[in-house]
Amino acid sequence: MTTTLVICCKNEAPSLAAVINKAKPYVHEIIVIDGHSTDGSRTIAKNAGVKVFEDNGKGKGAAIQLGIQKASGDIIIFMDADGSHKASDIPKLTKPIHKNKADLVIASRGIGGSNELHGDFEKTLRLIGSAIITQIINWRYHAHITDSQNGFRAIRRSVAKSLNLQANSFAIEQEMLMQILKRNAKVSETGSHEFARKYGNSKINLPRMWYKYLINLIQNL
Ligand SMILES: Nc1nc2c(ncn2[C@@H]2O[C@H](COP(=O)(O)OP(=O)(O)O)[C@@H](O)[C@H]2O)c(=O)[nH]1
Ligand SMILES: [Mg+2]
């Protein structure tokens, strides 16, 4: 089975080249979906020899949807451009799909730990919000997921293409999970540590965005 890594990137110039180069040994194709970066990220990606597409400006969810359209591999892996995910964990994500044991494999911070969910008020809020959403999804779909939100994950392309993803926001991760659970497709998790992003700040602004997660949760339950 062939693999495509989709890296969503919005102004991640300081970390992007290293993220691409570290991932190259693990996948057949790399696609960067750029969110109209103004810091030279696009040029960095092109110079690194990977395919680059511009998203429609609506957000990370829209970028993920474009990545699914453009990927040609049998398995699509999603990873941040900020250096918080470990490329050497990619084989752990793709293995259950290779073995036909899963259609979606999430890199779980519940099992692997995170430097981005502890330490200040907003991070703690993200941890609590994410845990509550995950438990509501588990209750609704009789599942035992430990991380509904991590963007580091792998999905069988045929399944990804058959979903009806609507979220333009960061709620795309929970929406993808719920749509897969709804159709009884196979979901599994593997522990993966999330490191603090190497530069800059998260693009998630919870005080401004929290309601998008809630509306999306209600719509997909
Ligand atoms: N193409 C695209 N990428 C985005 C957008 N918003 C965020 N990203 C990228 O998506 C990834 C996840 O965002 P990040 O801010 O790290 O979220 P966090 O890891 O949940 O704190 C990063 O690589 C961002 O650069 C967007 O609107 N378009
Ligand atoms: Mg990140």
Structural domains in the chain? 3-220 (3.90.550.10)
List residues near ligand 1 (CB under 6 A).
8-10, 12, 33-35, 55, 59-60, 63, 80-82, 84, 116, 151, 197, 202-204
Measured from the Cα of 126, ligand 1's closest atom is: 20
Distance CA 102, CA 114 (A): 24
- 75-80/29-34 β-pairing: unpaired
Which of 5, 60, 66 has most ligand 1 atoms within 8 Å of its beta carbon, as the pocket-test mutant?
Answer: 60
Ligand 1: atom nearest CA of 34 is 1
Among 41, 82, 84, 148, name the best residue to mutate to test ligand 1's pocket (greatest count of ligand atoms within 8 A of Cβ).
82
Cα(157) to centroid of ligand 2, in Å?
23
Is 65:165 a contact under the CB 8 Å cutoff? yes
Q: What is the pLDDT of residue 20?
A: 98
Weakly modelled stretches of the chain, pLDDT under 70: none
Q: Are 22 and 47 in contact (CB under 8 A)?
A: no
DSSP 80: E
Residue environment code for 46-76, b if the CB has 16+ CB neighbours within 10 A, otherwise e: eebebbbbebeeebbbbbbbbbbeebebbbb
d(CA 101, CA 186): 7
Q: Are 180 and 163 in contact (CB under 8 A)?
A: yes
Please tell me the predicted confidence (pLDDT) of residue 76.
Answer: 99
Amino acid code (one letter) for 198: K
Residue 154: per-residue pLDDT: 98
What pLDDT, on a 0 to 100 scale, did the predictor assign at position 41?
Answer: 98
Residue-level pLDDT at 27: 98
Closest atom, ligand 1, to C-alpha of 33: 1
What's residue 67's pLDDT? Answer: 98
Report how far residue 103's alpha carbon sits from residue 181's, in angstroms, rounded to the nearest whole number.
10
Residue nearest to atom 27 of ligand 1 (CA): 59
Instruction: Note if the pTM is more than 0.95.
Output: yes
Nearest CA to ligand 1 atom 6: 60
